Structure 1
Amino acid sequence: MTLIAILVGVVLALATLIDAFEVVLLPRPVRRRLRLNRYFFKCTWAAWVWCADLWPSGRRREDFIGVFGPLSMVMLFALWAASLIVGFGLMQWGLQGLVPDSGSVGLVDQIIVSGDAFFTLGYGDNVPHHSLARLLVIVEAGTGFGFIALTIGYLPVLYQHFTRRDLQLIEFSARAGTPPTAAALLGWHMHGTSAALERWLRDWEIWASDLVESQAVYPMLAFYRSQHEGHSWLGSLAVVLDVCTLLIAGADDMRRLQATATFCALRRVLDEASESLRVAPARPVSTRLLDPEALRLLTPTIRRILPDWRDDEPALEAIRRLRRTYEPRLEGLAAYLLLQLPEWINPEVAAGERFGRDAVVQELTDHHPD
């Protein structure tokens, strides 16, 4: 029994330390399926979604879902600490049966003593009599001290990546509207030049490259809701992908280069997020359909930016093929994270076929009536 207790304690402590090392310190993605934090997020997110489904749709439900990201990190740190304390407590309890004259302390009391050593409280209610047990206390105290230090240093890095991800959405919301649409985004740029649109897409290529790194190393960032109401990192990514799809399908070779680069970078974000969260692509894809009527409304706006843009049958077929490369993963992530994907065209704006200045005026007056 003592050997089993020691073995379980060693496995529990080592598994926790490896998991904490991979999450906090390792600057690369970990593809191994058997990970403590992976099962933690899978179980806690499933429970959180179940509770969220009890709420009616609206702001309160969204606020409840938005709490999960930060709270899950606190719960993960608490799980790591509890696992280490129990693991070292089992090792101390098991050593009593192997080392003569080492005293007889119950398992619960040994776990309490282990917590005392882990947080370096120094009560000294139970002092080990054997040198091996004392060495184990020293190791646990050093582990606890390092664990607390790494936890304090980890959270600012995590929030730095979250801020860099969300900062791009401030500028995006002004151009794409609330809720964002590809039509509103194109309408914003139709009075400018195609070069200005290409520079803007270049900024989003850089944003996507940064997000690939963040999503690979910090997959829990996907659970962090945006601080801007009506927007999300996944919805913004969807709108820019939609715009790139239109430009690639109907523009000439010289005008599609930047759109192609941005499209590839954004699609890689979807691949990385789906892989890190183990989310399967949605089958079949049924939402956000771009019908011919919607494309007819978009065509004049696009041609104000790119006069040679085509809407012939080859271009339509190219749009369908390109969408099949990202829509399944996009909708799979949206369903998993309980995020709503934006439409191609705002129905209220499309009813009057207003884009560009009129759409912007309506957007501003709707959200700022005073």
Structure 2
Amino acid sequence: MKNPKAREQSFSIYGPLSLLMLLLIWALLLILGFGLFFFSMGSPFADSIVGSGAGAWTRFGSDLYVSGTTLGTLGLGDVLPRSPLARTLVICEAGVGLGLVALVIGYLPVLYQAFSRREVSIALLDARAGSPPTAIELLRRHSFEGGDHALEALLSEWERWSAEILESHISYPILCYYRSQHDNQSWLSALVAILDTCALLISVLEERPSRQAQLTFIMARHALIDLCQVFHLQQKKTWQNQAQQDRLPTSEFDLLCSALADAHLRLCGDPATLRRLRTIRSLYEPHALALAGYLRMPLPAWIAPPREKDQWNLLTRLRSEAVLDAEQAKTGVTSSFLREDEHSH
């Protein structure tokens, strides 16, 4: 699909639709399997529609009918089993049908609860790291006084989020195909943005919460690598293609440092900074690129282009104007008092 919006919309329905189709296929295979059991027993049923001299395909159709009504626990009673073994199989299939219904009732809520918990943190990251999220924007929006504590709390929360992703998405890999409901957001881009932030805190920046960054990095990387193993990406073509990609070329590293300096962040400044950053990037970027190619989810850029309609920039500008107006008003009141005092003297 050449239209990106149509392509994303089709991807967004792929996960939920594939789950429903999977449950439907399970039910159809159970009906076919028990129908073949009945057919192998010589169709031991008393059917008023199908006579004793009916052909094989007609009898097999009757067996499938019995199997379908039994699995759905309808119990119409228009076709009756004529042997003890057939009755036993009917009872077994009815029990399997109840188990299938219980599986659907218990399976779907668990999946959608895990999906909902995942998306809440991704939605909250929008105001803290932009959309799509980037490490530079996340650090810039936490460069205020006391921002270190807020950033440490955020990384601690995302350490737990990564652990939940590790447990839920490995148990239910189909959740990886579920797309976020908002544009420019995905669980993979959010996870990589957090990894990028931790990489900068560990290897480039000084006087920042590097201890929590290390803990979050280890857990997030663990989730990323295990998900690659679930889909066997090391054996797929996407794993070879990612070796040719570089998310942060050397020519853009100076732009990265300039963006960090503009956010009033203190850099390490030694010549080995680029080497350390490249080393830590090699620990997770190949897996992230392979997952991005397999799931068709774009990864965030290290340096995001400026956005005209960014709500954070708008609110920051309005807040700065409000503070400036308040200072000017305070200065004007002070000057007025001074003039009145001079006049009285």
What TM-score bracket applies, with the shorter chain setting the length?
A: 0.7 to 0.9
Larger CA deviation: 173-182 vs 136-145: 173-182
With 101-110 and 221-230 compared, the bigger mean Cα shift is at 101-110
Closer, same or farther in 2 for the Cα pair 1:299/1:252, shift >3 Å?
closer
Is 1:241 the counterpart of 2:241? The answer is no
Task: Verify: 1:86 aligned to 2:38, yes or no.
Answer: no
Q: Distance in 2 between matches of 1:207 and 1:247?
A: 19
Please name the residue that 1:5 is paired with.
none
1:206 deviation in Å?
0.9
Identity %: 38
**Given that residues 114 and 168 in structure 2 are in contact (C-alpha distance below 8 angstroms), is that contact kept between their aligned partners in structure 1?**
yes
What secondary structure, in the 3-state scheme, does the structure 1 residue paired with 2:243 have? coil
Aligned to 2:284: 326
Equivalent residue for 1:125?
78
- Residues 299 and 311 of structure 1 are in contact (CA less than 8 Å); yes or no, is this contact kept in structure 2? no
Shift of 1:252: 5.8
Separation (CA, whole Å) in 2 of partners of 1:160 and 1:154: 10
Counterpart of 2:340 in structure 1 is: none
Equivalent residues in 2 for 1:339-350 (5 A)?
Answer: 339-348=297-306
Conserved? CA contact 2:203–2:276, under 8 Å:
yes
Q: CA RMSD in A?
A: 2.7
Which of 171, 177, 202 aligns to 1:217? It is 171
Hey, what does 1:286 align to over in structure 2? 245
Q: Taking CA–CA contacts closer than 8 Å with sequence separation of 6 or more, which of the two structures ends up with the larger relative contact order?
A: 1
Match of 1:149 among 83, 90, 102: 102
* 2:218 matches 1:256: no
Contact 1:208 1:269 in 2 (8 A): yes
User: 8 Å contact 2:73–2:98 — kept in the other structure?
Assistant: yes
Asked if the contact 2:134/2:304 (under 8 Å) is kept, the reply is yes
TM-score by length of 2: 0.80
> What residue in structure 2 maps to residue 361 of structure 1?
313
Q: Deviations over 1:313-363 (max 9, x none)?
A: 2221111011111111101111111111110111336xxxx9xxx993169
C-alpha distance 253-133 of structure 1, shift in aligned 2 (>3 A): farther
Q: What CA distance in whole angstroms lies between the structure 1 residues aligned with 2:29 and 2:315?
A: 51
1:174 aligns with 2:133: no
Instruction: Map 1:194-209 onto structure 2 (within 5 A).
Output: 194-209=148-163
- Of residues 137, 147, 160 in structure 1, which corresponds to 2:90? 137
Q: Which of 231, 234, 238 is matched with 1:277 structurally?
A: 231
Q: Quote the residue 1:49 is aligned against.
A: none
Q: 2:261 aligns with which of 288, 291, 300?
A: 300
Give the letter for the 1:130 counterpart: S
Are residues 133 and 182 of structure 1, via their aligned partners in 2, closer, same or farther at CA, if it must alter by over 3 Å?
A: same
Do the aligned residues in 2 keep the contact of 1:181 with 1:344 (CA within 8 Å)? yes
User: Does the 8 Å CA contact 2:71/2:97 hold for their aligned counterparts?
Assistant: yes
- Unmatched segments (≥5 aa) in structure 1: 1-54, 366-370
| Separation (CA, whole Å) in 1 of partners of 2:176 and 2:203 | 30
For residue 286 of structure 1, what is the amino acid of its counterpart? Q
